[in-house]
Amino acid sequence: MEVLVFKTNIRYRKHINAIEPHIARQSGIIKWNVDLKDSDKILRIEAIDLHPAKIESLVKSAGYTCEELRD
């Protein structure tokens, strides 16, 4: 299992609800959340064998920005 971390422009609960169907369709995701209190609105995903570019694409298809934060 791997943990992927992304900076987003997701600001409100309604935005999380908007991306949920996109993320739910993706196999390999075990658990995910968005920290709305963090200034970078962090999207954290626990997944198995999932490329970060796929998540970036999913979030962008919902109309939001998403950029992987690397170590």
Residue 38, domain CATH: 3.30.70.100
Instruction: Note the pTM of the prediction, 2 decimals.
Output: 0.93
Alpha-carbon distance of 30 to 67, in angstroms, equals 20
Q: What is the pLDDT of residue 35?
A: 98
Q: What is the pLDDT of residue 71?
A: 72
Q: What is the pLDDT of residue 70?
A: 85
Q: What is the pLDDT of residue 40?
A: 97
Domain range for 33 is 2-68
Number of structural domains found in the chain: 1
Q: How confident is the model at residue 3 (pLDDT cuts 50, 70, 90)?
A: very high
Q: How confident is the model at residue 47 (pLDDT cuts 50, 70, 90)?
A: very high
Alpha-carbon distance of 32 to 11, in angstroms, equals 16
Alpha-carbon distance of 27 to 25, in angstroms, equals 6
